[in-house]
Amino acid sequence: MKPTTLLARTLFCLFVFWSTANISIAQQHTPVARNRTISAIVRDIDARNIEQSIRKLVSFGTRNTLSEQNDPKRGIGAARDWLYAEFLKAAESSGGRMTVEKQSYEQGKAQRVPQPTIITNVVATLKGTQPESSDRIYVVSGHYDSMCNSTTDAKCDAPGANDDASGTAAVLEMARVMAKHQFEATIVFMAVAGEEQSLLGSTHFAEQAKQKNWNIDAMFTNDIIGNTLGGNGVRDRGMVRVFSEGVPTNETPAEANTRRSVGGENDSPSRQLARFIKEIGDRYVSQIKVLMVYRRDRYGRGGDHIPFLERGYPAVRFTELHEDFRHQHQNVRVENGVQFGDLPEFVDFAYVANVARVNAASLAMLVLAPARPKGVTILSTRLSHDTDLRWEANKEADLAGYEIVWRDTTAAVWTNSRTVGKVTTFTMKGMSKDNYFFGVRAIDKDGNRSPVTYPRPQTRQQPADRTTSTTTSSAP
């Protein structure tokens, strides 16, 4: 063989190897283009607006839930009225799609409520535009109440710049930026009260939602999202924690039995939501990375997402990476040369803006993308080296189809995906349900992807849906 032939053959073999390798990579990682609306939203979020809002909220002296409700300058009532007016201003650019209300109720005496007290949530709802999607609701919240050392001290200064003017200001800025855009599903931007009194405002909202049978598909709480210099001396401006539960708070004994039988303690709807936020946040917001924490909240502590979890709504909590406890729930004072108190000088406004961007990008994708697939099952009775998946058809007019995702059982995030078209069953040939975790997500014609639905086991073959086709394909 002439050396030139050998060289040609080698090059040809290399080419074949290279192109085969690329095909298999393409099958596993479908390239995703950025959505322009989401990029514009991320760009429009402005740290200067967030700083102004935080300083304004601090200017009310205290926002303790038990503080003055009718003084125009000091107390929680002044903060409530200012927030209401600001959300109304945000709504002006929505063309009538955003409505703002004060949701009030009288809280009776409780452990941290010495006398009956009116609790008011300020709620701005941006209605979705698509009839098949607008009843799907996404809630993003911060709590505007604050406290000093004592939950029940209504008189002390409680600036609450970080806990939680930071989260409240982020939500207000998201409302301002997102009200201009049209989305298929509905977003509720909310500032709640009574958090420090045991999550009272968020519990009231979640309970109302449950009683009215609202279809809340996800909830984010933003609480303590502005400090970048931890009490441990570590400065970190490049990460935000997203807390999500593994086993659902409201799991029934029957569901627990199923989970013990097939796995899934790392695959609750809230965990899928956290993975979704990590994927979208890391794609659209380069300044900050999402650190998923596999816990409902910080160790032994809680937040406004918990009442939602208790009622079966997927929910997560956003919090800065390193807290500084000298600036939370402290009377404002100097002790041995150390400044205590939750003051604006300890808030990193640019960082709050970045956390707001991760929220906004994730929310925007949730309301642009189709709903996550429902009724997703794995046929569990068939002893097979293949995995049979089945789900119900989505209703969106712009639906393009579905994607199967999978990962090794020890992987933290979905590592592989395959587009399978507009079908409602699919068999992953040569891939055993014993050795991988699988999920299904929906895609629209613009490439927007829903969060992943984790399948439950289906014990009997149900009659095939005659309106959809069955497709199979072999795994790489």
Q: How far is the CB of 167 from Zn ion (least distance, A)?
A: 7
Q: How far is the CB of 379 from Zn ion (least distance, A)?
A: 45
Residue pair 472/429 in contact by the 8 Å Cβ criterion = yes
How many residues are recorded in the chain? 476
74 to each of 57, 115, 219, 292, 332, how far by Cα in Å? 10, 20, 30, 38, 17
- From 51, 86, 157, 163, residue interacting with Zn ion (rule: CB under 5 A): 163
**Interatomic CA distance for residues 409 and 416, integer angstroms:** 13
Phi and psi based region of residue 325 (left: phi greater than 0; alpha: psi -120 to 50; beta: remaining):
alpha
Name which of 185 and 192 has its Cβ closer to Zn ion.
Answer: 192
Contacts of 196 (CB under 8 A, 6+ apart): 64, 65, 112, 143, 145, 146, 147, 151, 329
Number of alpha carbons in the 13 Å side-chain half-sphere of residue 301: 11
Name which of 199 and 440 has its Cβ closer to Zn ion.
Answer: 199
Q: How far is the CB of 166 from Zn ion (least distance, A)?
A: 9
* Number of residues engaging Zn ion in binding (CB under 5 A): 3
- From 51, 164, 245, 324, residue interacting with Zn ion (rule: CB under 5 A): 164
Q: How far is the CB of 328 from Zn ion (least distance, A)?
A: 8
Q: How far is the CB of 111 from Zn ion (least distance, A)?
A: 17
Name which of 163 and 267 has its Cβ closer to Zn ion.
Answer: 163
Q: How far is the CB of 164 from Zn ion (least distance, A)?
A: 4
Instruction: Specify the stretch interacting with Zn ion by CB under 5 A; choose among 65-73, 91-99, 156-164, 339-347.
Output: 156-164
Name which of 328 and 427 has its Cβ closer to Zn ion.
Answer: 328
Q: How far is the CB of 221 from Zn ion (least distance, A)?
A: 9
E strand segments, 150-264:
186-192, 215-222, 239-243
Name which of 58 and 371 has its Cβ closer to Zn ion.
Answer: 58
Helix axes of 47-58 and 349-368: crossing angle, nearest 10 degrees: 110
H or E element: which one contains 263? none
> With binding defined as CB under 5 A, does residue 184 bind Zn ion?
no
Site string for Zn ion, 216-255 (x = CB under 5 A): -------x--------------------------------
**Interatomic CA distance for residues 90 and 134, integer angstroms:** 20
Tokens matching residue 289: 């990375």
Name which of 163 and 184 has its Cβ closer to Zn ion.
Answer: 163
- Relative to beta strand 425-429, strand 387-390 is antiparallel
Instruction: Specify the stretch interacting with Zn ion by CB under 5 A; choose among 9-17, 50-58, 97-105, 215-223.
Output: 215-223
Residue pair 193/201 in contact by the 8 Å Cβ criterion = yes
Name which of 145 and 396 has its Cβ closer to Zn ion.
Answer: 145
- List interacting residues with Zn ion (CB under 5 A): 163-164, 223
